A and B are shown apart, each in its own frame.
Chain A
Amino acid sequence: MSDISRRDFLKLASSAVLTAAGLLGLAGLFRFLDAQTEPSPQTDFDLGSPEKYSIGSRTVLPDVPALLVRSQAGFSALSLVCTHLGCTVQSQSDGFACPCHGSRFDLQGNVTRGPAGKSLEPLRTGITSDGNIHLYTN
């Protein structure tokens, strides 16, 4: 085994440490460049095949939140965000009730009890080229 000179040892050690620092620095740089801003709220919801929803069905979509209605005339949707302060209303047999401040809405989303002053917002739906039904909240 050959002896390593003091000069070579220092050179090797410096190179090793600099390489490690460089790799760590690069990792940090990639992480910085790859940082994502908070995503914008989703406004387009793919609800899958229309066949999943039978005619006459009323499906609560908690992730939106919205109610998807399929009638003989087609699809329609209603936002389940209370028009008073934005709580999520709960679907009941005779309409919707807001658990926060007690507003009530009929099955069509019209206000039957305050403090909400406006009806639940109708949402746009459509069938896209992939054949799926989509719901739009904007």
Chain B
Amino acid sequence: MRRYFLLLASFALLLALLLAAWYQSVHPKPVALIPTLTGQVEYCLTCHSDLAQISNSHPVQTFGCVLCHGGEPLALDANLAHSTMRGGSNPSDFSVVQASCGGANCHSGTPESYSNHIQRATTSIQATYAGAIANILFTFGVQPDLTARLGIYAVQDPGSTSGITSLAAFDPASETNPYVKAFGQNCLTCHLSAHPLSGSVYFRFTGCAACHTPTQSADRTGTQQLQSSQIHKLTTAISYTQCDTCHNRGNYDLRAITFAPRQDLPGDRLHDYYQPIAQFTSCEWMLDCVDCHTRTEAMGDGSLYSSKLDIQYIQCKTCHGTPTELPQTRTLTDPNDLAFRLALLNPVVDLKLGDTILVTDKNEPLWNTRLLPDGTYQLVGKANGQVFPFKPVMGSACTQNGIDQTSAYCHTCHSVIR
């Protein structure tokens, strides 16, 4: 009996050792990476070596993975390795963005260093949704004016230049007005912290990635309903189709306080995009949104606002001037000009010292434009590199009063005829 037991125990021991050897053989050998910026070993590339580099500004040899994503750098078990990741697969979600994109003062620096992105983005009207909330509260008599008091989350702006120093968190559950309550339940799906509607063809991520990680094909050949594991990209070459994930994804029904999501994707931008009564110029349907609208307009300037109208300021005259004035320009003489840095991030143009570019009323560089020797201008599409030549209004037959810049004026003569 004792010998049987010994034989059985020997077999069990051998089996256990063979299993251990097999377990070792089927698990991958750790692939170590020591990023320049952290100097700490991480094994993420053991499984993720096939991921494309997220951008030229974030090379994996410099940043590694953990600096942005968090996680357990030395774990080889997927569940353990991912257990402490920031924001799941999206470290740019605003709930964790300060620790990820803001880490090491990368995107949470000063306005002077052009790196206060998080302060700007998290106070922007696209993030706080303060304008829409204020409008609804005013419309249904909850507040006396259109000044923003509530945002999607509470946020402070002690150095406000807009006069709004803080927003309290909007809590639909505590609202007594049924319309405001319904607004809270049905209409909070397009701010930068909101997840898109389930199954929506206008899929996007949250936080910075909502705009900077393309989920929609630029040519509208079909939506890319990609999971975060399938797309690993950050870009400033943002196609209008990405903006559409919020700005053209359906309509609000203000009688029912509901949102009616659009089910289709416009294939022909000229004919499918604009409603039949719409008036628009060729700029509006041929260019991408980011070709005209600046980083300040899209991401905010760090102050809280009540309406997007308070932050948007690009007008037709910004590029075209008026009958009496040429558009504002700047000749690049400072190698540290912001224009160079923006052009480096999206190299559709080769800017050089001595080039003259257009600038906005706030002196923001329209770095993808250039004054040509013949006095005309050209704009290069940020998303596709397409070149658009254009002329100033001055010297043309236009008799427009220069201060009349709303769309009704310029559209009178320059609407596209479909």
Instruction: Specify whether A and B are partners.
Output: yes
Interface residues of A (CB under 8 A from B): 7, 10-11, 13-14, 17-18, 20-21, 24-25, 28, 38, 41, 81, 85-88, 99-102, 104, 112-115
How many angstroms between the C-alpha atoms of A102 and B62 in the bound complex? 15
Q: Is the CB of B344 within 8 A of A102?
A: yes
A24-B14, A81-B36 given; A100·B335 CB < 8 A? no
A-B contacts besides A28-B20, A38-B34, A101-B57, 14 pairs, CB < 8 Å: A10-B3, A10-B7, A14-B6, A17-B13, A20-B14, A85-B63, A86-B35, A87-B59, A87-B62, A99-B56, A100-B56, A100-B57, A100-B62, A115-B114
CB proximity to A under 8 Å, residues B6-34: 6-7, 10-11, 13-14, 17-18, 20-21, 32, 34
What is the distance, in angstroms, from B303's C-beta to the closest C-beta of chain A? 24
Alpha-carbon distance between A85 and B56 when the two chains are bound, in angstroms? 13
Whether the pair A13, B341 counts as a contact (CB closer than 8 A) is no
A41 — which chain B residues lie within 8 A by C-beta?
A: 34, 39
* A122→B25 CA distance, assembly (Å): 45
Find the A residue at minimum CB distance from B114.
A115
In the complex, what residue of chain B is closest to A27 when comparing beta carbons?
B21
| Cβ contact within 8 Å between A28 and B10 | no
Give chain B interface residues in 339-387, CB to chain A under 8 Å.
Answer: 340-341, 344
Question: Does B51 reach chain A (CB closer than 8 Å)?
Answer: no
Interface presence of B41 (CB below 8 A): yes
B window 123-161: CB within 8 A of A:
none
Contact partner, B10, options A21, A87, A101, Cβ 8 Å? A21
- 8 shortest interchain CB distances as A-B pairs: A86-B36, A17-B10, A102-B344, A113-B335, A21-B14, A24-B17, A10-B3, A21-B13
Asked if A13 and B62 make an inter-chain contact with CB atoms under 8 angstroms apart, the answer reads no
* B26-54 Cβ-contact flags toward A at 8 Å (1 or 0): 00000010111101010000000000000
Question: Would A13 and B17 count as touching, CB distance under 8 A?
Answer: no
B174 at the interface (CB under 8 A from A): no
Asked if B341 contacts A102 (CB within 8 A), the reply is yes
Complex Cα spacing A100 to B347, Å: 12
Nearest opposing residue in chain A for B3, CB measure? A10
> Which residues of chain A come closer than 8 Å to B32, judged between CB atoms?
38
Q: Is the CB of B17 within 8 A of A28?
A: yes
How near does chain A come to B55, taking the closest CB pair, in angstroms?
9
> Which residue from chain B places its CB closest to the CB of A7 in the assembled complex?
B3
Partner of A14, one of B10, B18, B59: B10
Q: How far is the CB of B41 from chain A (nearest CB, A)?
A: 5
A13 and B8 alpha carbons, distance in the complex (Å): 10
* Complex contacts, A13 vs chain B, CB 8 Å: 7, 10
Instruction: Kindly list chain B residues whose C-beta atoms are within 8 Å of the C-beta of A104.
Output: 335
Which residues on A sit within 8 Å (CB–CB) of B35? 86
CB distance from A114 to the nearest CB of B (A): 5
5 CB-based A-B contacts, threshold 8 Å: A7-B3, A11-B3, A102-B344, A113-B336, A115-B341
Shortest Cβ distance from residue A43 to the other chain B in the assembled complex, whole angstroms: 12
Q: Which residues of B contact A102 (CB under 8 A)?
A: 340-341, 344
B335 touches A112 (CB 8 A): yes
Q: CA of A113 to CA of B341 in the docked complex: distance in angstroms?
A: 10
Q: Which residues on the B side are within 8 Å of A7 (C-beta)?
A: 3
B 311-344 binary contact with A (CB < 8 Å = 1; else 0): 0000000000000000000000001100011001
